[in-house]
Amino acid sequence: MQATIINIKGMTCMGCVRSIKNVLEKIPGVSSAEVSLEDAQVTIQFDATIVSNDQFKQAIEEAGFEAII
Ordered by where they begin, the domains of the chain are: 2-68 (3.30.70.100)
What confidence score (pLDDT) does residue 69 get?
87
Q: Please, what is the Cα angle at 11 between 21 and 64, to 5 degrees?
A: 75
- pLDDT of 32 reads 98
Q: Are 52 and 39 in contact (CB under 8 A)?
A: no
Question: In one letter, which amino acid is 55?
Answer: Q
**pTM (predicted TM-score):** 0.94
Give the tens place of pLDDT for each residue, 18-58. 999 999 999 999 999 999 999 999 999 999 999 999 999 99
What is the per-residue burial (b if ≥16 Cβ within 10 Å, else e) of 28-41? Answer: ebbeebebeeeeeb
Cα angle: 24, vertex 29, 67; to 5 degrees: 35
